[in-house]
Structure 1
Amino acid sequence: MTIEQRLAALEAQMQDARDRQAILDCIKRNSRGNDRFDIDLVTSSYHADGLHELGERHISGREYGEHANRAHNALFDANLHNVTMHMCEIDGDVAHAESYSLGVFLDKGAEKARLLAGRYIDRLERRDGEWRIALRRATVEIAMEGSAVLPSGSTLVGAGYLRGSRDREDPSYERPLTPDHGGRW
């Protein structure tokens, strides 16, 4: 193998790794945007004509962030979307990804919590050099509900733990991060 061939193979491997990371970053950006009610993050994960399947209907990726915020705010005091196992097949400028997800939702009043486990099944496309979701289909395969208490038997409310917020006041946006920022349960 010539040096040119070796460099070309290395470039192809690096491009594959960069594409995979950009795709995973897009999927994680969507989940973080949902949890922080950051519509810009959610919207930036979809192409302008991207679709998000909700049950039997489709909603524009551009409208999904506002829709999710309204639904989450009406039902829950907090929500966390976790992307776990992730697989991706890339074919040029189109990728198909399957990402396992765990959604944890704290009901209003912080007495009960719900866990939804499923998968995001996405078709992503690279347009103008950027990977975004063209179509998202989500499964829900396990749903559980339980009491939202700590091992001590107390609820989060009054426990003194740092509490995230659903806006840019969340400690994760703070630069530089200091020990004085953020509300407590």
Structure 2
Amino acid sequence: MSLSSSRDPEIQALLDKQAIQEVLVRYLRGADRADADLIRRCYHPDATEDHGGTYSGTASDYVDMITPNIGKAKVLSHAISNILIELESDSLAFSECYITTFGRCKKDGEYFDTLTLARAFDRFERRNSEWRIAARRMAWEWNHEMPVTENWGRGLIAPDPSVLVRGAKKPLDIIYQR
């Protein structure tokens, strides 16, 4: 008898949903920190990725494709919300979540800020006692671009922004300095 089958089904459902939510959040940490290994561990090795018109194929090839670009982003920040996880069985689940992304990009020599909302639809499978994404599909909701106006609340947040500890890519970010 497995440990999960000896638990109260409602408790096991909560544990499964928490494990899936942690995969979703870990994926976004990997994107923000340009940590390809962390992103890759969110998928099963044979997973597929349909990125809503920008890519369709294996998740592994998708991670290889995006890693150079996310590593170049001066600022990249993802926030996850509206997470809904539906457990179909002890080894199959479906999730929907909203992903809001802020990015500072450069095109034609000019920096601009971009804010985007997308939804991720994932099929999760538990294999070898571990939940990971088996298939992902994305749907794009909206995008807003604006000029760079970073001034830290007109000085109210940080009168001298040069002293701020800033987020960084792997391995320089504080999360890798435990």
**Band the TM-score falls in, shorter-chain normalisation:** 0.7 to 0.9
Residue 51 of structure 1 contacts residue 61 of structure 1 at CA under 8 Å; is this kept in 2? yes
Q: Give, in whole Å, the separation in 1 of the partners of 2:171 and 2:50.
A: 27
Which residue matches 2:22?
Answer: 25
For residue 138 of structure 1, report the CA deviation from its aligned partner: 1.0
Gaps in structure 2 of 5+ consecutive residues:
none
C-alpha spacing 1:69/1:110, structure 2 compared with 1 (3 Å): farther
1:179 aligned residue: none
| Counterpart code for 1:62 | S
Does residue 170 (structure 1) correspond to residue 173 (structure 2)? The answer is yes
How far does residue 165 in structure 1 lie from its aligned partner after superposition? 1.3
Give 1:49's aligned residue: 46
Shift, 1:38, TM fit: 0.9
SS of structure 2 residue aligned to 1:164: coil
The answer for unaligned runs of 5 or more in structure 1 is 1-7, 176-185
Residue 67 of structure 2 aligns with an amino acid whose one-letter code is N
1:144-155 aligned at under 5 Å gives the runs: 144-149=144-149, 150=151, 151-152=153-154
Equivalence for 2:129: 129
| TM-score (norm: length of structure 2) | 0.83
Q: 1:46-71, CA deviations, whole angstroms, 9 ceiling, x for partnerless residues? A: 00110111344423222332322223
Q: Mean Cα displacement is larger for which, 144-153 or 100-109?
A: 144-153
CA distance in 2, matches of 1:42, 1:59: 16
CA distance in 2, matches of 1:129, 1:10: 15
For the residue of structure 2 that corresponds to 1:168, the secondary structure is coil
Give me the CA root mean square deviation: 2.3
Give the secondary-structure state (helix, strand or coil) at the position aligned to 2:95.
strand
Change (3 A) 1:47 1:59: same
Displacement after TM superposition at 1:9 (Å): 9.8
Q: Distance in 1 between matches of 2:52 and 2:82?
A: 23
Aligned-residue sequence identity (percent) comes to 29
Q: Are 2:12 and 1:15 equivalent residues in the alignment?
A: yes
Equivalent position of 2:101 in the other structure: 103
Tell me how far apart the structure 2 counterparts of residues 66 and 35 of structure 1 sit (CA, whole Å): 15
Q: 1:60 aligns with which of 40, 58, 61?
A: 58
Measured in 2, the distance between the counterparts of 1:129 and 1:50 equals 17
Question: Is the CA contact 1:77–1:107 (under 8 Å) kept in the aligned structure 2?
Answer: yes
How far did 1:174 drift? Answer: 1.4
**Partner deviation per Cα, 1:97-138 (whole Å, 9 max, x = no partner):** 000110110123884210010111111111111100011111
Give 1:3's aligned residue. none
